[in-house]
Structure 1
């Protein structure tokens, strides 16, 4: 992917309400964005907007699906959570081998909220 495509992808994400902190459009695509919902858990609607932006770009031929690794921050240095989506999931959705519901379930199944990790750590250290 060229620098123009990175700028275009960042612009598309921002247009869809995603506050891009950093992006490396390699393989994997590494995305960090600041959430508009700085609670304890990552907001599923924002994940959907990221994925839909990538799906739209794949459909119009401006993005070739690769694994996406996303980090969601409340503000710089305060990670709210992480999630990822495999290239095969995008390809399956685009070729109608995977339903939108299955795609969403797979992505949400990778979601890790830092509050959950911190709870497990404090429980395990008691």
Structure 2
């Protein structure tokens, strides 16, 4: 099963992101099980996921599309949601924005429902 994976899912898993589901289309919808099931989404874990998409793009292994990520503590227990715009990856690669600006943009999209909220 994991040995048969390719592309973004395999890359995410190899970077310690526990992919629960991934669907591709005009948007890549990612749901992952956090290794840090506290009240807030772990920013380092978000960073690992973002870095995976950046690396895939730099390697020519992925043509960036918008990413809609849902972070869960357990199935049905949403810890938060965040987005990644493909233009941010392109801007970072072209040195139009810094790594700090890139991170700030992603963090600005983070939504964390109150505990118990879907």
Task: Settle same-fold status: TM greater than 0.5.
Answer: yes
Per-residue deviation, 1:32: 0.3
Deviation >6 Å, runs of 4+: none
Residue aligned with 1:63, SS: coil
Give unmatched runs, 5+ long, in structure 1.
1-5, 119-126
The equivalences for 1:63-74 within 5 A come to 63-74=62-73
Give unmatched runs, 5+ long, in structure 2.
none
Q: Tell me which protein shows more helix as a share of its residues.
A: 1
Do the aligned partners of 1:41 and 1:115 also contact (CA within 8 Å) in 2?
no
User: CA offsets, 1:90-122, max 9 Å, x none?
Assistant: 11011111110000000000001112895xxxx
Find the aligned partners of 2:27 and 2:84 in 1 and give their Cα distance: 10
The equivalences for 1:1-126 within 5 A come to 7-115=6-114
User: What is the aligned residue count?
Assistant: 113
Indicate the RMSD between aligned Cα atoms, in angstroms: 1.6
Find the aligned partners of 2:110 and 2:6 in 1 and give their Cα distance: 26
Find the aligned partners of 1:70 and 1:84 in 2 and give their Cα distance: 6
* TM-score, normalised relative to structure 1: 0.85
Over alpha carbons, which structure has the higher Rg? 1
* TM-score, normalised relative to structure 2: 0.90
Find the aligned partners of 1:91 and 1:11 in 2 and give their Cα distance: 22
